[in-house]
Amino acid sequence: MLGGLALVVIVVTAWLAVQPGAMTAQTDLVLWFNHPPQPFAAVFAAVNPLLRPAPLAVVTLVLAGSVVLTAHGAQRLEVVRALFISLTLGELVAQVIKRVADQPRPLAVIPGLDTHAYPVSPHGNAYPSAHTALVVAAVSALWPWMHWPHRIVGLVFAVLVASNRVYIGAHWPIDVLGGAAIGLLCGALTWLLATRWPLRRATPAIC
């Protein structure tokens, strides 16, 4: 059910993203995120250095590693498999849709946007946000094996990443919605895989 809902959101947001006037309709919201009022400005500025490519990968690995370490036995293999499949599928789907939608980023459309010292100018197409897709794919894939502290951290992390992509002018709001839906769909597929074809250690025969 969750995967089906995510698929509907992907279709709807992809359709909306390519409609005439879609970028104009989102410009005010992008400007708000780019120069938000307090206390949002302080929060976005504080977490911005942690959400650049290298720190983002480190944070993701730490979160995933802690989930793996708290899992038991064969569950660790399930966690690793779910994470690998979800991230691979999320990247593949996001990149394919990017090329089909072929939408410019806000930085290429709205003059004067602040990248907030992002180390490299975001390149490629806008819809969907691959960063958001991958983070949500990772969090949703690990969700069944997460304890509540992990889940809270994962949810906050995903929201901050999605907000940051608009904050630095790399994406339109609809891009992060589509990216989140892609990540959720990929995670839901790994849940189905773990339920239908679980990884179990063979039980030795007792003579």
Query: Residues 51-55: what's their mean pLDDT?
Result: 84
pLDDT band at 30, cuts 50/70/90?
Answer: very high
Q: Hey, where are the domains in the chain?
A: 2-196
Q: At what angle do helices 75-101 and 2-17 cross, to 10 degrees?
A: 20
Q: Which CATH number fits domain 2-196: 2.60.120, 1.20.144, 1.10.3470, 1.10.3450?
A: 1.20.144
- Whether the CA torsion 16, 95, 65, 186 is positive or negative: it is positive
Instruction: Tell me the average pLDDT of the chain.
Output: 89
Backbone angles phi, psi at 43, to 5 degrees: -65, -50
pLDDT digits 0-9 by tens, 136-172 = 999 999 998 888 888 999 999 999 999 999 999 999 9
Q: pLDDT for 87-123, tens place per residue?
A: 999 999 999 999 999 999 999 999 989 998 887 666 7
Q: What is the 3-state secondary structure (H, E, C) of the chain?
A: CHHHHHHHHHHHHHHHHCCCCHHHHHHHHHHHHHCCCCCHHHHHHHHHHHHCHHHHHHHHHHHHHHHHHHCCCCHHHHHHHHHHHHHHHHHHHHHHHHHHHCCCCHHHHCCCCCCCCCCCCCCCCCCCCHHHHHHHHHHHHHHHHCCHHHHHHHHHHHHHHHHHHHHCCCCCHHHHHHHHHHHHHHHHHHHHHHHHCCCCCCCCCCC
pTM of the model: 0.90
**pLDDT exceeds 70 at position 206:** no
Q: Give residue 204's pLDDT.
A: 34
Q: Which of 130, 122, 57, 131 is nearest to 96 (CA)?
A: 130
76 pLDDT tier (thresholds 50, 70, 90)? confident
Q: 118: helix, coil or strand?
A: coil
CA 122 – CA 158 distance, rounded (Å): 19
What average pLDDT does range 57-70 have in this prediction? 86
pLDDT tier at 68, thresholds 50, 70, 90: confident
pLDDT at 200: 65
Sorting pLDDT into bands at 50, 70 and 90, what band is 178? very high
